[in-house]
Chains A and B, each alone.
Chain A
Amino acid sequence: MNNAGLRSRAGGGEASGATSPRWEETGLARSRASPDTFPKYLLLNAERFRGRPAMRHKDYGIWQSWTWEEQLAEVRAFALGLQTIGLQRGDRVAIIGANRPRLYWTFAAVQSLGGVPVPVYADAVADEMAYVLAHAEVKFAVVEDQEQVDKVLSVSGEVPSLAEIVYDEPRGLRDYDHSHLHAYTGLRDAGLKRLAEEPGADEAWHAEIEKGKGSDLAIMLYTSGTTGRPKGVMLSNDNLVRSALNGNAFDSLDENESTIAYLPLAWVGDHLFSYAQSYTAGFCVACPESADTVNEDRREIAPTYFFAPPRIFEAMLTMIMVRMDDAGRLKRAMFDYFLAHARKVGEPILQGERVGFLDRLKYALGDILVYGPLKNRLGLSRLRVGYTAGEAIGPELFSFYRSLGLNLKQLYGQTEATVYVTAQPDGKIRADTVGLPSPEVEIRIADNGEVLYRSPGVFIGYYKDEEATRRTKTADGWVHTGDAGFFDADGQLKIIDRAKDVGRLRSGAVFAPKYIENALKFFPDIKEAVAFGDGRDFCAVFINIDLQSVGNWAERNNVAYASYQELAQHPRVREIISGHVAETNRRLSREPMMAASQIRRFLILHKELDADDGELTRTQKVRRGFIAERYGELIEALYDGSTEKYVETEVTYEDGRKGRLAATVRIVDAEVYEMPGEPVREAAE
């Protein structure tokens, strides 16, 4: 019944032409060409994309769709409902939950009244949530379900500003005290009732929208903050609209795209991709049925525009490989054969390079037999633009997807920049760069290697944290990323490390340990690497072999070994690792910034770095400082020219007992290259 009311309102009102004069009155006609807020875009889209889908949600096993004018009707009804519980201009509204249409509508409804949405990570524990809600001084919370209601109620004592809670999913909430708790549908119905009974309610709402300005605060996003408390990044309408329009133009996104919203609402990427870009370009956003069904739902929607962090692409690849292991012989043979061919010619074809006719023919056949079905299974058969960002993606993984003909690209961005800092343009894609500066973005590399940018997307500031704002954003609008990087020969940005971890060799050349370690770790034989060089003459590394990978090799080549220690010190293993180091050096030598930090000497550690011994963090990150202390004599040996060193190390076994491990570790001189890739001297061994 309520839905029927919504429909007739949306359809009937506009079909009769009754709304046209109002466009003139409110002056919206003037700003129609380029609205400066999202509610204004919503009004525009309901006109220009009339009848086109704006939102989909799988519910009860069926994809439900809302057109732009239906979306407008939903947003209007909920906004009028929010007014009945006292929402006013400037009020902050927390939005907590999974990707559901009603939560996305809440953004527009709140913004239409001049309120500020504050999306909060739905999986935040109550304590973190309390801090964000209290810091943002939210007055309302619109949440998904009972779980979130409970969480918000449990911290409401610490959030004195919080007045009302609205929930979408009523299950389990029937017996709750509803004096400050409201069902979404209840407010929506109240809004519909006002629309039907109060003369001028609709006009007043349009007038509220008209009051919104581009410079207004549009949203506050709390950065998850690996160190210290989360900070509230304030983004204006202008920030989001300009960034979205630039992004749309860069990838030529229009109303024909479709995308699936499955990343956290509180993450700037989702807000840009699933809200700002959808409103500005007019494309449809699909919300999955539940977090567990994303893979199936993606397959049904087949998005044309898709974003995922590397770990998701990795999980998808693993899923394929596991399934292929169970497949029949013929299928597996086909898979292997055509994938090998794709590795050879897939990427060049995608980049538009010259590829022979026969190879193209074979690739086309592969597309029919293998790549096509595979892409369909992944839900990527219609993909036009795919992005990955957030962390470095393994080159193998990246090329796997690209070789199938998927236009997967990398971008580098930050909440403070409204996502875009750099992005890779079509045809210029590489696994190890993050692309060219995005439209209207200026980038500068500071003397210490830190990347600074200035753009229309640069945030207003951190909420209630003047000092942090000053530290991050200079008076003339440059923002410190905290990341060190450099531009390569093609003008693409490469991010090498956190700026604070970057040091210098004694010669003054930049030394980025993580960059070198990551380059080494791309070899499956190398599990862990620790690079030294800050304040030293040259770069030297400790290497941990990967027992599984090297063990496999040993088995295949009849190399007998009794322990990790013995395998690690095996001369043939040393040869293999030597080759990897030389290859890494050859790559480093091609980069002017990095050529000086080629690895001169390395050693293979006699034991695996282990969190139990304090050498790694519990999340398996190398604790460089601790290792430098613990293996001080080995580091000295790396730099004093000796060829081997006897060490004894205390180890902690899993049951807590301690033991000592003694070994003679060989130190190896590595091949070093001259800039553009000729060896200058042979290895000592």
Chain B
Amino acid sequence: MNPRPDHAQLTAPDDGIAKGEVLLEVRNVSLSFGGVKALTDVSFDIRKGEIRAIIGPNGAGKTSMLNVINGFYTPQQGMIVFRGKERRSMKPHEAVGQGIARTFQNVALFKGMSTLDNIMAGRSVHMKRGIGWQMLWHGPALAEEIEHREKVEEIIDFLEIEHIRRIPVGKLPYGLQKRVELGRALAMEPSLLLLDEPMAGMNLEEKEDMSRFIIDVNQQRGTTIALIEHDIGVVMDLSDRIVVLDYGKKIADGTPEEVKSDQAVIDAYLGVPHE
């Protein structure tokens, strides 16, 4: 028969927070490694449904900030409030359980596995059957596999990567690997998606594609996104609000317009355009 699903999009889970309310708050966070201060008393918030950018020069502490948010680093001072719950230390897999997914600056996929399997791996957090059932590959495990495969196919359709479904990701060009990594993060159906330089090393066309995917994820699925990106043009176009870090300190926070005209930001990062 004719069961064409009409794009029942994956959506961000309903976490009881209305659009525009604070989803995550970073409260007075300081992080240091021995004598090196990576972050000093940084505070900002991420609201539900927005695209929030974190920018700053090299070594400003952007990736450290993401690592604090998803529990990879534990700050010496301050705390993270996510969905109303305060915490200081947490394991990354707990972050996933709470609905935080991320991609990495240097693509971190399973190189020998196909695109399909990589994205499927992202679904594992939602699978109920244990490894025993999965190895048996029958009955409830198979039913579950089919259910999750449908979700994965939606993501593949969404990211337009049908043609690489069966190809080991190690063989793919960099731009596509980035897309697969985004797919794996989306498979977790996160309420907060952290993207660490999603467009690094891409050409203009790939950047445009990636920008469109990020906007679509945000608008169609309602996923809240926090991203680090160096291409200022892209950041200004994409994000609703921007926080600027320099030497581990927050120097500005606001809409793209506010940030663009902020003197401290111009001095530290943007520079002055040549006349």
Quick check: is B150 within 8 A (CB to CB) of the other chain?
yes
Q: How large is the interface on A (under 10, 10 to 19, 20 to 34, 35 or more residues)?
A: 20 to 34
Quick check: is B154 within 8 A (CB to CB) of the other chain?
yes
Within the complex, the shortest CB–CB distance from A256 to chain B, in Å, comes to: 21
Which residue of A3, A7, A59, A290 contacts B163 across the interface (Cβ within 8 Å)?
A: A290
Within the complex, the shortest CB–CB distance from B167 to chain A, in Å, comes to: 10
Surface stretch bound by A, among B4-12, B56-64, B249-257: B4-12
A174 near B219: Cβ-Cβ < 8 Å? yes
Quick check: is A64 within 8 A (CB to CB) of the other chain?
yes
A70 near B153: Cβ-Cβ < 8 Å? no
A289 near B162: Cβ-Cβ < 8 Å? yes
Within the complex, the shortest CB–CB distance from A68 to chain B, in Å, comes to: 12
Which residue of A7, A60, A70, A171 contacts B150 across the interface (Cβ within 8 Å)?
A: A60
B4 near A59: Cβ-Cβ < 8 Å? yes
Within the complex, the shortest CB–CB distance from A188 to chain B, in Å, comes to: 10
Quick check: is A170 within 8 A (CB to CB) of the other chain?
yes
Tell me which residues across on chain A come within 8 A of B153, comparing CB atoms: 60-62
- Cα of A64 to Cα of B166 in the assembled complex, Å: 20
Quick check: is B1 within 8 A (CB to CB) of the other chain?
yes
Quick check: is B86 within 8 A (CB to CB) of the other chain?
no
A66 near B2: Cβ-Cβ < 8 Å? yes
What mask results when residues 206 to 226 of chain A are scored 1 for a CB within 8 Å of chain B, else 0? 000000000000000000000
Quick check: is A440 within 8 A (CB to CB) of the other chain?
no
- The verdict on A172 contacting B2 (CB below 8 Å), with A61-B156, A61-B165, A290-B163 known, is no
- Cα of A61 to Cα of B151 in the assembled complex, Å: 11
- The verdict on A65 contacting B150 (CB below 8 Å), with A174-B219, A290-B162, A290-B163 known, is no
- The verdict on A61 contacting B162 (CB below 8 Å), with A172-B212, A172-B216, A174-B219 known, is yes
Which residue of B2, B7, B219, B220 contacts A7 across the interface (Cβ within 8 Å)?
A: B2
B2 near A59: Cβ-Cβ < 8 Å? no
A60 near B157: Cβ-Cβ < 8 Å? yes
Quick check: is B20 within 8 A (CB to CB) of the other chain?
no
A65 near B156: Cβ-Cβ < 8 Å? no
- Cα of A605 to Cα of B149 in the assembled complex, Å: 62
Quick check: is B41 within 8 A (CB to CB) of the other chain?
no
Quick check: is B160 within 8 A (CB to CB) of the other chain?
yes
Tell me which residues across on chain B come within 8 A of A64, comparing CB atoms: 2-4
- The verdict on A60 contacting B160 (CB below 8 Å), with A171-B216, A172-B216 known, is no
- Cα of A442 to Cα of B13 in the assembled complex, Å: 68
Which residue of B2, B154, B219 contacts A6 across the interface (Cβ within 8 Å)?
A: B2
Residue of B nearest to A1 (CB): B6
Tell me which residues across on chain B come within 8 A of A66, comparing CB atoms: 2
- For residues 169 through 185 of chain A, which have their beta carbon under 8 Å from a beta carbon of chain B? 170-172, 174, 185
Tell me which residues across on chain B come within 8 A of A7, comparing CB atoms: 1-2
Tell me which residues across on chain A come within 8 A of B157, comparing CB atoms: 59-60
What mask results when residues 61 to 89 of chain A are scored 1 for a CB within 8 Å of chain B, else 0? 11011100010000000000000000000
Quick check: is A292 within 8 A (CB to CB) of the other chain?
yes
Tell me which residues across on chain A come within 8 A of B3, comparing CB atoms: 3, 64
- Cα of A352 to Cα of B156 in the assembled complex, Å: 47
Which residue of B1, B162, B219 contacts A293 across the interface (Cβ within 8 Å)?
A: B162
B163 near A292: Cβ-Cβ < 8 Å? yes
A296 near B4: Cβ-Cβ < 8 Å? no
Within the complex, the shortest CB–CB distance from B108 to chain A, in Å, comes to: 25
Residue of B nearest to A66 (CB): B2
A170 near B7: Cβ-Cβ < 8 Å? yes
B5 near A60: Cβ-Cβ < 8 Å? yes
Residue of A nearest to B5 (CB): A60
Candidate in A2, A60, A62, A172 with the most chain B CB atoms within 10 angstroms: A60
Within the complex, the shortest CB–CB distance from A22 to chain B, in Å, comes to: 24
- Cα of A172 to Cα of B4 in the assembled complex, Å: 20
- Cα of A263 to Cα of B49 in the assembled complex, Å: 41
Q: What are 15 A-B residue pairs whose CB atoms fall within 8 Å in the complex?
A: A3-B4, A6-B2, A7-B1, A59-B4, A60-B154, A60-B156, A60-B157, A61-B156, A65-B1, A172-B216, A174-B219, A185-B6, A289-B163, A290-B163, A292-B162
Q: Residues of B at under 8 Å CB distance from A?
A: 1-7, 149-150, 153-154, 156-157, 160, 162-163, 165-166, 212, 216, 219-220
Q: Residues of A at under 8 Å CB distance from B?
A: 2-3, 6-7, 57, 59-62, 64-66, 70, 170-172, 174, 185, 289-290, 292-293, 296
Question: Which A-B residue pairs are the 8 nearest by beta carbons?
Answer: A292-B163, A60-B153, A61-B153, A293-B163, A289-B162, A64-B4, A290-B162, A293-B162
